[in-house]
A and B are shown apart, each in its own frame.
Chain A
Amino acid sequence: MKPADVPEIVAKTIKKGEIVERLLYLDPSTGKRVELENEVPYYRRQMRLILGNNSRIDPADIRDYIALDGYEALRRVLESGKPRSVIETIKKSGLRGRGGGGFPAGIKWETARGAKGRKRFVICNADEGDPGAFMDRSICEGNPHSVIEGIVIGAYAVGAHEGFIYVRNEYPLAVEALTIALEQARECGLLGGDILGSGFSFDISISRGGGAFVCGESTALMASLEGRPGEPRAKYIHTVEKGLWEQPTVLNNVETWANVPKIILGGAAWYTGIGTGDVSDDPWGGSKGTKIFSLVGKVANTGLVEVPMGTTLREIVFDIGGGVPKGKKFKAVQTGGPSGGCLPESLLDLPVDFDALTDAGSMMGSGGMIVMDEDTCMVDVARYFIDFLKDESCGKCLPCREGLRALLDILDRIVAGRGKRGDIALLEEISEGIAATSLCALGGSAPNPVLTTIRYFRDEYEAHINRKKCPAGVCKPLLRFRVVPERCTGCRACFKACPAACIAGKAKEIHAIDETKCIRCGACFDACRFEAIAR
């Protein structure tokens, strides 16, 4: 839609209630126009419990949220006056932490409530550090009150009077939306002293992170809140017992908190009807509710996708995401953030929940889902994640600090064409060591990208090491660009695109690349419309 379409929309749709046919969404799979949003395949298969209201409310106006049953859950909870029954409901619902760990929220709350301390704290982790994930940002910006309501309910349940939202510094809009929402909630008596006349007092302050991935780890986040570098500590004593300022602390992430009001309003029985497994005896027995995934990468429809737990990867990537664009072949989907894993086509029918993903060597993480196609090199992807994690390792414990560096050295060698026999086994051995002996979950899961790419894409490693080839055409030192004479039309597109001026050729004559000057940037490959550049 363009600004030029507005007069027609006003004239037809707004004045006469007619549909402007040519502006309707065109379903690429059927070739038909779609009239209603919920008939678009991308939305039809979703279940937008958490995200649904984002498009219906103005995040800067609390009345919008209240009009859609906002703060009704809190009112009910405060009116009942039974914090323990809130914990019971959350336990029965089977709600597990959406930040990555999948720890049952109800158990966390119960332990914190029972723990000894001068005070108790609740924290909302909005330090969405996973590259490729932006669901928490979207909730904070689009429906901040749903998060705040969840936090207040949680605080009431565990008996906390102070709360913190730890937001990424890179998300200025989220900070703004939350700040406005907190002010409005205070004005309405939903935060502060004597909330809704219940006698319960609680307030929330916002802390901005400083751009450190490790601060998503609970103890590191708390160190950061205390004004220190965000280094994790060993968790012999859990943070629910001794967390922020050594006091019992409940930490859940944005999406987890946003689920809380829904569960209170709908009831645990309704909530357990969505998802997989059975949580009636064991809160670890299944994955309940919906999960938001950030579906990005080489996929036609990118964006946030909210589906019931247990939806298969195939449904998410192909039915909702519309598959891989430009006729390319699907290669892998990466889940779980930097320390998650890459899952191949053979696992597309895997139902996505906490346990199935872990069994496959990956993890749920916070819900990043990055689709990769035939042009993605899996060794390069592994190198990318290890490079990221090496940068983000806080350096406190040796296995993570030195182990990741060692992995990166080997991967650097492999992508540069200097891989040696035995490198794969060495990668595996170091990976096991890091996973087994690191202090926190960052190191504990850091080798996942290496291990899953070896497990599912060993042939690519072998091609790099043994044949010095990058099958996907990504690893620059292994590429040789050359002109395919039979296809070259002499159009000079590559000549114009080449930043190194290493392509010779007059118009209508076959071009040639000077290998000695080529910087392997791939500009010619992408500029050529006749597939006349080979690599």
Chain B
Amino acid sequence: MSGTASTRTIREALFPGRPGGAMPASGGVSDERAVQRILERHGRMASQIIAVLQDLQALRQYLPEADLRLISRELDVPLTRLYAIATFYKAFRLVPRGRHEISLCTGTACHVRGAMRVKDAIERELKIAAGGTTSDMRFSFETVRCLGCCGQAPVMMIDGELLSRLDHLTVGKALEKYK
């Protein structure tokens, strides 16, 4: 296996749809400094990678390639291991998200109380499948397993705000106020 081929495969897996050419600019010094601060906060320890990636995602809403490469260099951890962690844990994303993030709970209580119909209704409304982002970057829509608000099922979270006792007949209206 040649070095270039394996690099390309990893890149394609990491960043689907992006041509495997030269690396894009890392986004300026100030960005790098923010990542360095995160690394400092966690003692630059490889055992703290998950916490580092969580903070990075909180900062950027996703895990940009340039930042992952920086972390890989700084902590001396192969990029493949970061990829393994970023894809194993559901919390991490490798592509940018829309302005508003919808997380529809499909936990058991929500499921038996009609979450799948709410999902269908949202998919119809936004014309995207769960896991997708609208082309105008207005919404990203995903399903999650249990937000722990089972008493108010079915529920979803939009930008951290909880909407409870959803109804597939009216959920489309609830999305209107998010521009």
Binds B, one of A54-62, A85-93, A124-132, A147-155: A124-132
Verify A229–B85 contact, CB threshold 8 A.
yes
The yes or no answer to B50 lying at the interface (CB within 8 A) is yes
Contacting A376 at CB < 8 Å: which of B45, B54, B112, B117?
B112
Per-position binary interface string of chain A over residues 316-341, scored 1 when its CB falls under 8 Å from any chain B CB and 0 otherwise = 00000000000000000010001000
The yes or no answer to A381 lying at the interface (CB within 8 A) is yes
The yes or no answer to A446 lying at the interface (CB within 8 A) is no
A338 to B109, alpha carbons, bound, how many Å? 11
Per-position binary interface string of chain B over residues 75-107, scored 1 when its CB falls under 8 Å from any chain A CB and 0 otherwise = 000000000110011111000000000000011
Across the interface, which residues of B come within 8 angstroms of A171, CB to CB?
148
Per-position binary interface string of chain A over residues 470-502, scored 1 when its CB falls under 8 Å from any chain B CB and 0 otherwise = 000000000000000000000000000101000
A128 and B50 contact, Cβ closer than 8 Å, known pairs A376-B112, A521-B120, A523-B169: no
Size of B's binding interface in residues, CB under 8 A: 40
Across the interface, which residues of A come within 8 angstroms of B149, CB to CB?
134
The yes or no answer to B41 lying at the interface (CB within 8 A) is no
A132 and B150 contact, Cβ closer than 8 Å, known pairs A212-B89, A224-B50, A338-B108: yes
Verify A210–B168 contact, CB threshold 8 A.
no
Verify A394–B47 contact, CB threshold 8 A.
no
Per-position binary interface string of chain A over residues 508-523, scored 1 when its CB falls under 8 Å from any chain B CB and 0 otherwise = 0000000000010111
- Chain A: number of interface residues, binned into ranges: 35 or more
Verify A296–B109 contact, CB threshold 8 A.
yes
Across the interface, which residues of A come within 8 angstroms of B7, CB to CB?
none
Verify A394–B150 contact, CB threshold 8 A.
no
A521 to B119, alpha carbons, bound, how many Å? 10
Verify A297–B108 contact, CB threshold 8 A.
yes
Across the interface, which residues of B come within 8 angstroms of A302, CB to CB?
109, 150-153
Verify B124–A132 contact, CB threshold 8 A.
no
A296 to B120, alpha carbons, bound, how many Å? 23
A170 to B157, alpha carbons, bound, how many Å? 11
Verify B92–A227 contact, CB threshold 8 A.
no
The yes or no answer to B121 lying at the interface (CB within 8 A) is yes
The yes or no answer to B49 lying at the interface (CB within 8 A) is yes
Contacting A384 at CB < 8 Å: which of B47, B111, B120?
B111
A497 to B170, alpha carbons, bound, how many Å? 9
Per-position binary interface string of chain A over residues 365-376, scored 1 when its CB falls under 8 Å from any chain B CB and 0 otherwise = 000101010001
The yes or no answer to B48 lying at the interface (CB within 8 A) is yes
A289 to B173, alpha carbons, bound, how many Å? 47
The yes or no answer to A208 lying at the interface (CB within 8 A) is yes
A210 and B108 contact, Cβ closer than 8 Å, known pairs A170-B148, A229-B84, A297-B113: no
Contacting A211 at CB < 8 Å: which of B45, B47, B89, B109?
B89
Verify A526–B150 contact, CB threshold 8 A.
no
Verify B148–A137 contact, CB threshold 8 A.
yes
Across the interface, which residues of B come within 8 angstroms of A499, CB to CB?
121, 124
Most A CB contacts (10 A, CB to CB) among B45, B51, B88, B117 go to: B88
- Distance of A255 from chain B, by nearest CB (Å): 14
Across the interface, which residues of A come within 8 angstroms of B109, CB to CB?
131-132, 296-297, 302, 370
The yes or no answer to B144 lying at the interface (CB within 8 A) is yes
Across the interface, which residues of A come within 8 angstroms of B106, CB to CB?
131
The yes or no answer to A312 lying at the interface (CB within 8 A) is no
The yes or no answer to A133 lying at the interface (CB within 8 A) is yes
Contacting A128 at CB < 8 Å: which of B49, B124, B148?
B148
Verify B112–A381 contact, CB threshold 8 A.
yes
The yes or no answer to B8 lying at the interface (CB within 8 A) is no
Give the interface of B toward A (CB within 8 A).
45-51, 53-54, 84-85, 88-92, 106-113, 117, 120-121, 124, 144-153, 168-169
Q: List 9 A-B contacts (CB under 8 A).
A: A128-B148, A132-B109, A133-B146, A133-B150, A134-B151, A212-B88, A224-B50, A302-B109, A499-B121
Given contact pairs A213-B145, A297-B108, a sample of 8 additional A-B residue pairs in the complex whose CB atoms are under 8 Å apart: A208-B51, A212-B89, A227-B46, A297-B150, A298-B112, A302-B153, A522-B168, A526-B169
